[in-house]
Amino acid sequence: MELDNFADDIGPEKIIEVYDPKTGMRGFTVLDNTALGPAKGGIRMTPSVDIKEVFRLARAMTLKNALADLPFGGGKSGIIYDKKTQENKKIDFIKSFGRALKNIAPSEYVAAPDINTNEKDMETFVISNGNFNSATGKPLGFCQEVGGKKACGLPHELGSTGFGVAYSTKVALEHAKIPIKGATIAIEGFGNVGTFTFKKLEEYGAKIVAVSDSQGVLYNSDGLDFKKTMKIKEERGSVIHGDGEHLESKKIFELPVDVLIPAALPDVINNTNKDKVKAKIIVEAANIPMPIEIEEELSKKILIIPDFVANAGGVISSYVEYIGGTVEDMNKLIEEKLVKNTDHVLQTAFKKKITPREAATQIAMERIKKAMANRNYR
């Protein structure tokens, strides 16, 4: 795709394409904006990932980091990878990608896990790259002395993103004047984000009535139990075998709930189902779970917490890891920032009579443009 088709006044600054003839690895990194610091964003490995998708995600990271008030810019990477046919090549692809980005990571770009990458992959990336800070989301036991002190990984498997989504959901319910105790919630996706969101919201007293995975939806209007649902998933491979009604995957977006939390794939709310959404609040745990134009349309009747507001827990955790902080530091900062940022966005939106995305974007863009005006361009 031509750069002119999506370039604007803040980025992207660089698009880097890499190819390794030995392994067949093809990948790319988009550095959207680095005015606030090195571009921060995960490595996505799917068969269909392309530069346009990576740019959209990089822009979300630019806004997310600025809104979270972190010294990071926005970036993202993609490696073309088919798990079904290339699983034996995954490690080689990541090693190759880590070597290919030596000249920009971590000086201009800091990687992290995303779809089909995990904490062990970040360890592989870092070792291949040669710099401990070239990626975050590394294993907890993977440590190194950095700047005279011991620094260790803080994997996203500790629940950073999911817990952050729960904190954001709690604030949204408060603004909507819906008591969190007994609030009905549907969570699309029962992976790392969805499980920790479920766990924390259950602790708050919310009633999670539906969860889904790749095999379908488990729905129970009386509420689901986190430990039982996790056990079913671990023992039988899918939540659909739990105590409740089994529905098609798409039905989770149509349930009459207080809160709908899309926590898996992009563009799951689209022209085919937008008119069937009955939730009072949508909290976007996944990146770009719906096109912007559909979000704008639904915002007229539904309170929507944008992705780069709600799912910032992961990048806040990354910042704590980047500066050598602990798990306790991470948990404290995620709660503090998600509560403060979500409330600030909603207060701004209601005051200016604009959507939460517009409010969040305004706040983030002001910080980015101020940094761009003040920095010394290389």
Cis check: omega of the bond before 306, within 30 degrees of 0: no
Angle of helix 313-322 relative to helix 51-67, nearest 10 degrees, comes to 70
H or E stretch including 199? helix 192-203
Tell me, yes or no, if 76 is annotated catalytic.
yes
CA 299, 305, 308, 312: dihedral to nearest 10 degrees?
180
The tokens describing 280, both together, are 């009072």
User: Could you say which of 76, 90, 95, 337 is catalytic?
Assistant: 76
DSSP-derived 3-state class of residue 64:
helix
CB-facing half-sphere around the CA of 31: CA atoms within 13 A: 19
Q: If you ran DSSP here, which 8-state letter would residue 264 be given?
A: S
Taking alpha carbons only, the member of 67, 59, 1 closest to residue 30 is: 59
The tokens describing 285, both together, are 């745990």
Q: If you ran DSSP here, which 8-state letter would residue 316 be given?
A: H
Catalytic residue set:
76
